[in-house]
Structures are given as C-alpha cells and as structure tokens.
C-alpha cells in the first residue's frame, strides 16, 4: 500500500519545532522510524504532517511515531504545555521541572 498524503517540514530550532507543532492540528514529531513506514503503508498511522526534529550523530534524519490512549489525548493541551515548558526550561526551577515531568506523559 501507499501511505496517505502528508506534509513534511524540517524544524530549524526548538522554537521552530514548537511553532510547527502548535500551528498544525495533527502534526507529529518524528524520530527513529523503524516501524513508521510499515504503519503508514497500511494506514494505521496517518499523520497530516511530519516534523523532522534534526539529525542523529551519524547524520541520519530522526523520526518518531507516537500512539496514545484516548485518556491522554483528552489532556493533550496540558501535556503540550508541559512539554514546551520542559523543552525550553526557561524560568523553571528544579522542583517545578520534577513536578512537570511527573505529571507529563509521552503522548
């Protein structure tokens, strides 16, 4: 099978990745990729947009597909906020970072 159509964007920085993810409702951050193409070929994974988050130490593109439970998706905005705060870490104390990391999830 052929994957469903999708947009592709390469993030130039953390801020650019956050911008891409927040402006596209179904955008996915991708890194790794061993099972992404097979999932896309059978259309189990159908992201509207893929965001390239950079290269590995070997110079390869990073890809990651994320699958989550409906309960997590219901709180996705909160988890996005936590991820943004931890990614930037500006003005976040060690205690706040620990609390955010405990509350947050890999959605």
Spatial CA neighbour of 86 closest among 102, 72, 65, 67: 102
pTM exceeding the 0.75 threshold for the entire prediction: no
In this prediction, residue 14 has a pLDDT band, given cuts at 50, 70 and 90, of: confident
For 27-82, what is each residue's pLDDT tens digit?
A: 777 665 556 667 778 887 777 677 777 777 888 877 655 566 788 778 888 988 88
d(CA 38, CA 81): 31
Which of the pair, 14 or 48, is modelled with greater confidence? 14
User: How many CB atoms sit inside 10 A of residue 82's CB?
Assistant: 19
pLDDT of residue 64: 55
pLDDT at 30 (0 to 100): 67
Q: What is the pLDDT, as a whole number, of residue 79?
A: 86
Rounded to 5 degrees, φ, ψ at 55 are: -110, 155
pLDDT at 86 over 80: yes
């Amino acid at each position: 099978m052929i994957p469903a159509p999708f947009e592709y964007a390469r993030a130039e920085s953390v801020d650019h990745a956050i911008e891409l993810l927040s402006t596209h409702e179904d955008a996915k951050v991708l890194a790794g990729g061993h099972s992404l193409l097979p999932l896309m070929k059978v259309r189990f994974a159908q992201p509207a947009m893929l965001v390239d988050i950079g290269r590995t130490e070997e110079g390869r593109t990073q890809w990651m597909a994320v699958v989550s439970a409906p309960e997590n998706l219901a709180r996705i905005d909160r988890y996005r906020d936590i991820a943004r705060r931890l990614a930037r870490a500006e003005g976040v104390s060690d205690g706040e970072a620990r609390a955010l990391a405990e509350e947050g999830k890999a959605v």
